[in-house]
Every structure is written in C-alpha cells, then in structure tokens.
C-alpha cells in the first residue's frame, strides 16, 4: 500500500510566496498612490491659496483741509488727492511716464478705499493722517516673493525703477501685509486685489435654496408615492426606469435641457439662480428620491401595521409614523445631493451663470454666478495673482462642502437605527 505523502515542492512554494508578496505590494502601492494624490492635490491648493489671504498695503500721508473739501466727502476727486499724496512721497519722480509707472504701484481701487476711509472718519480732515491703501497685484506679488528681481527687466512684471521705489517705501516702513478681508467681503472684479467671493457665495446660496425648494418636496412626494402607495405596474416601472436613468445622465446634458426648456421655451431669465437652481434641482431629484426610498424602506412594516390596525388611513400612517422615522435618512441623502449640486459647474455654464458679475445678487432673479463657476472664471484669468485667489476660493468651497458632508454623516450616525 502506498503511503500518502503531502505533495509540496519547496521551490514552487517559495515562488508562490513571492507572488503573494508582490500582489500585496501592488495593493499597498495603489493605496499609497491614492492617498498621495489626495494629499498632493489638497496640499498644493492649500499652499498656493495662502498668499491670497493677505495683501500688501502702502501707507501714505494725507493732510487735507476742510476748506478744500466738498460737502459730501465722497464727491471729492480722490484720484487726484491720492496721486498728489503719492507724488509727494517721491519728489524725485518728474516725467509723465515715470509718474504713470509710480501710480501703477497702487491698486485701482485705492482711491475708492481712501474715499471710504475719510467718509467713515470725518475727523481725518484737518489733521495729518497716515492711511494704508491696497497695493497693486504686481507690488503684492513682489512683496510675497513671487517676482524675482534678479531676472532681466524685460522678463519681469515690475521695472527696475518700480522696484527701487518699493525698496524706498519699505525702508520707510510704509509697506505692510494685512489680512485680505476683500477675499470674503467683495464681489468679483477684474483686479485680483479687489476681487472676492462674496457675490459668488451668495449666488451659490440662492441657487441651492432654489434647488432645495424644488427637489426636496418633489423628491419626498415621489419617493413616498413609489415606495408606499403606488401599485406595481407598468406606469410605476416606467417612472423607476426614468429615475435611475436621470441619475446617470451627464450633468452637462441637464445644462442643455435648462437652456432649451427653461430659457428658450419658458423664457426664464438667463444667468439667474432661478434657472441654475431649477437645473440643479432636476439633477438632484433622482439622488433624493433614491435616498428617500431607501430610508422609507428601512422603516419596519410592523409600524405600518400597528398604525393601520388602530384605524389610521394610509396617508396618516405615512405622515405620522413613517416619514418622521425616515426623515434623518432622507435628510442625509438630501444634503449629499445638495453638496454635489453645490460643487457642480458644467450645467450652470450652459445657462449663463459664468458671467462677470460685480454686483452681489439679492434675489433669485438677479444675474449671479456660483462659487464653482467663479473658480472657473478666475482660473481662466491670466493675471498671476488670480492663481492664489482661485486656490483660496477652492479652499472656501471645499470647507463649505466638507461642512455639509460632515453634517450628513453626523446626522446618519446620530439617528441611525437598527430595527
């Protein structure tokens, strides 16, 4: 009789173990790559956004007399006043060309800023004051070290003379970097040192409001109908197929729909949160319906039976018992859907929400842009200073989205119930 001997070949086994190790390594590398990409992406954007949160300001002396001022302080020719103060600082600058170059060190918005300062502090008139005014973006970049002074003059954004003037200002301690509040408080502008995200943020909020207003009630009603009430027939099958299909349609196609139906057919106003919100609502609707149906389905049937048993009507069962229990799940799905809509750009480009809009929108029928579209607009701007501003806007958008998603996760953790 043959003795059973285990069939083990040592060389083959070694090879198999090596293959095992290799395979495992591929996995580790994949995970490492994914994490590294995430860290690089977020790190690069965060790092490049840092300069945008501060700006360079130049201190200039003003000695204005009440007799020279008009009654309404803001009506004065502040451009002239500003120029005069600047030229006083540099008596050696004589030629017209040089004076213009000197003027370019200050931001275009500096005169406005000066006017506001004086309007806010009427006591400034009649005394010697030093006012800090925003520098131009090139000046700012230079201070932040983004312009290399060792380069030949023709390759630089600032001329040798301008750099000399900046050095003089710095020697007089008239240059300081401050927190750039305009990033949060200003609307869009062609000048990076004046542009802020407030207009886009308001536009985003208005758009999300419209999206929520339409998608949440309609989504919940549709989910209730399909999950709790509808008989299973061809009609409801058709609805379900459509919902699943809508969930997979590329977002830009929703933009085309919005353009063709809302703008051209129903003549709703272009570039407004109303139209943008409607388009995003259609996009979010399947997300909400699918999440709401899952939440409704997770409510145990015993609750339904109990309520029916005491004589609640079908609608009372839903409104009094099932909907309240499913609500956390529905809200979680809704927030995730809305967060996705809040980061969406492509369909909004189709309905004109990438216009350059300085005014902050106050109404859903005002022309507006949204935060992701603002990012797109700024990313296309050639000025170097817009680069860090774009990164800053991205960071703000990501924080906004992170907050929403964290809320959704918190909600799910808090109310998650195992039946």
Partner 1 sequence: MSLSLYIMTLFGLAVFSYFLGLKRIRSVVAQQVTAQQRLVPTVPTETGQAPISPTDTTETGHAPISPTDTKQHSVDHFHGLFLALYVFLPPMLLIIIWQACAPFVTNYLLETQLVTIFGTLSQGALNIQIAQVKAVYNGSLAAHMVSEQTTLGVAYYARIQQTFSIILPVIATSFAVVGFMFAYRRIALRFPARRHIEKIAIWFMIAASVIAILATLGIILSLIFETLRFFGKVPISEFLFGLHWSPQIAIREGQAGGAGAFGAIPLLVGTFMITLIAMFVAVPIGLMSAIYLSEYATQNIRDFVKPAIEILAGIPTVVYGFFAALWVAPFMRDMGAALGLTLSSESALAAGMVMGIMIIPIISSLSDDVINAVPQSLRDGAAALGATKSETVKQVILPAALPGIMSAILLAISRAIGETMIVVMAAGVAANLTANPFEAVTTVTVQIVVLLTGDQEFDSAKTLAAFALGLLLFFMTLALNILALRIVRKYSENYE
Partner 2 sequence: MTETDKTVKTHKTPEAEDRVKIKARRVNVFYGAAQALFDIDLDMRLNQVTALIGPSGCGKSTFLRCLNRMNDVIDGCRVEGDIYMDNQNVYDETLDVVELRARIGMVFQKPNPFPKSIYDNVAYGPRIHGMTQNKEQLDHIVKKSLRRAGLWDEVKDRLSDTGSGLSGGQQQRLCIARAIAVNPEVLLMDEPCSALDPVATAVIENLIHELRQRYTIVIVTHSMHQAARVSQKTAYFHLGELIEYGDTSDIFTRPQHEQTEAYISGKIG
Question: Which residues lie near partner 2 (CB under 8 A)?
Answer: 231-232, 300, 302-314, 316, 320-321, 325
Min separation Cβ 198 and partner 2, Å: 44
Alpha carbon distances (Å) from 331 to 278, 328, 342, 344: 19, 5, 16, 20
Q: Which is nearer to partner 1, 26 or 419 (CB)?
A: 26
Token pair 């992701």: residue: 372
- Report residue 396 as tokens: 């703000």
**From the list partner 1, partner 2, none, which binds 308 (C-beta under 5 to 8 Å, kind-based)?**
partner 2
Q: Which is nearer to partner 1, 44 or 164 (CB)?
A: 44
Checking DSSP bridges between strand 128-134 and strand 175-179, what pairing results, if any?
unpaired
Alpha carbon distances (Å) from 289 to 176, 190, 371: 54, 41, 26
H or E stretch including 173? none
**From the list partner 2, partner 1, none, which binds 309 (C-beta under 5 to 8 Å, kind-based)?**
partner 2
Q: Which is nearer to partner 1, 118 or 254 (CB)?
A: 254
Nearest to 183 by CA among 42, 357, 394: 394
The Cα–Cα gap between 105 and 120 comes to: 25
Among the listed ranges 123-131, 202-210, 307-315, 323-331, the one in contact with partner 1 (CB under 8 A) is: 307-315
The Cα–Cα gap between 200 and 368 comes to: 7
Strand order in the sheet with 175-179: 128-134, 54-63, 175-179
- DSSP 8-state class, residue 50: G
**From the list partner 1, partner 2, none, which binds 296 (C-beta under 5 to 8 Å, kind-based)?**
none
**From the list partner 2, partner 1, none, which binds 31 (C-beta under 5 to 8 Å, kind-based)?**
partner 1
Q: Which is nearer to partner 2, 279 or 317 (CB)?
A: 317
Residues in 336-395 that interact with partner 1 by CB under 8 A? 339-340, 342-346, 349-350, 354, 372-373, 375-376, 379-380, 387, 390-391, 394
How many residues contact partner 1, by CB under 8 A?
88
**Is the CB of residue 96 less than 8 Å from the CB of residue 173?**
no
Burial of residue 23 (CB within 10 Å: 0-12, 13-18, 19+) is: exposed
Q: DSSP H helical segments within 50-145, as ranges? A: 78-89, 96-103, 110-120, 137-143
Residues in 181-240 that interact with partner 1 by CB under 8 A? 217-219, 221-222, 224-226, 229-230, 236, 238-239
Min separation Cβ 309 and partner 2, Å: 4
Min separation Cβ 276 and partner 2, Å: 39
Phi, psi of 405 (to 5 degrees): -65, -35
The Cα–Cα gap between 317 and 379 comes to: 52
Min separation Cβ 224 and partner 1, Å: 6
Binding mask 38-67 toward partner 1 (x if CB under 8 A, else -) reads x--x--xx--x-------------------
Q: Assess 401 for contact with partner 1 (CB under 8 A).
A: yes
**From the list partner 2, partner 1, none, which binds 17 (C-beta under 5 to 8 Å, kind-based)?**
partner 1
**Is the CB of residue 190 less than 8 Å from the CB of residue 280?**
no
**Is the CB of residue 350 less than 8 Å from the CB of residue 255?**
yes
Q: Which is nearer to partner 2, 303 or 411 (CB)?
A: 303
Nearest to 87 by CA among 185, 165, 197: 165
Min separation Cβ 27 and partner 1, Å: 3
Q: Assess 131 for contact with partner 1 (CB under 8 A).
A: no
Residues in 135-154 that interact with partner 1 by CB under 8 A? none
Near partner 1 by CB under 8 A: residue from 1, 2, 3, 26: 26
Q: Which is nearer to partner 1, 44 or 306 (CB)?
A: 44
Min separation Cβ 321 and partner 2, Å: 6
């Amino acid at each position: 009789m043959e003795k059973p001997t285990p069939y083990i070949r040592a060389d083959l086994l070694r090879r198999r173990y090596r293959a095992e190790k290799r395979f495992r390594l591929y996995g580790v590398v994949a995970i490492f790559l994914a994490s590294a990409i995430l860290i690089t992406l977020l790190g690069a954007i965060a790092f490049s956004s840092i300069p945008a949160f501060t700006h360079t300001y130049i201190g200039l002396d003003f000695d204005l007399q009440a007799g020279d001022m008009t009654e309404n302080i803001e009506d004065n020719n502040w451009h002239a006043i500003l120029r005069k103060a600047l030229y006083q600082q540099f008596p050696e600058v004589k030629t017209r060309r040089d004076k213009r170059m000197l003027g370019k060190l200050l931001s275009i918005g500096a005169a406005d800023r000066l006017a506001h300062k004086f309007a806010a502090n009427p006591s400034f008139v009649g005394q010697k004051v030093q006012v800090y005014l925003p520098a131009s973006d090139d000046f700012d970049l230079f201070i932040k070290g983004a312009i290399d002074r060792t380069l030949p003059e023709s390759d630089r954004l600032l001329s040798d003379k301008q750099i000399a003037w900046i050095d003089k200002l710095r020697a007089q301690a008239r240059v300081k970097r401050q927190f750039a509040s305009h990033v949060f408080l200003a609307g869009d502008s062609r000048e990076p040192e004046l542009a802020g995200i407030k207009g886009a943020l308001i536009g985003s909020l208005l758009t999300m409001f419209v999206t929520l207003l339409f998608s949440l009630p309609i989504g919940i009603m549709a989910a209730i109908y399909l999950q709790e009430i509808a008989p299973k027939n061809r009609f409801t099958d058709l609805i379900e197929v459509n919902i699943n299909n809508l969930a997979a349609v590329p977002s830009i196609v929703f933009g085309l729909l919005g353009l063709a139906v809302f703008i051209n057919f129903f003549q709703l106003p272009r570039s407004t949160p109303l139209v943008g919100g409607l388009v995003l609502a259609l996009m979010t609707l399947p997300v909400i319906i699918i999440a709401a149906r899952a939440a409704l389905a997770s409510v145990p049937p015993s609750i339904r039976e109990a309520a029916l048993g005491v004589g609640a009507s079908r609608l009372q069962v839903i409104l009094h018992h099932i909907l309240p229990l499913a609500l956390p799940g529905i809200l979680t799905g809704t927030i995730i859907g809305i967060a996705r809509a809040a980061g969406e750009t492509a369909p909004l480009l189709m309905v004109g929400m990438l216009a350059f809009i300085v005014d902050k929108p106050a109404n859903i029928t005002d022309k507006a842009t949204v935060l992701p579209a603002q990012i797109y607009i700024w990313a296309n701007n050639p000025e170097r200073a817009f680069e860090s501003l774009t990164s800053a806007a991205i960071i703000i958008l990501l924080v906004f989205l992170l907050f929403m998603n964290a809320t959704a996760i918190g909600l799910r953790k808090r109310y998650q119930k195992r039946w």
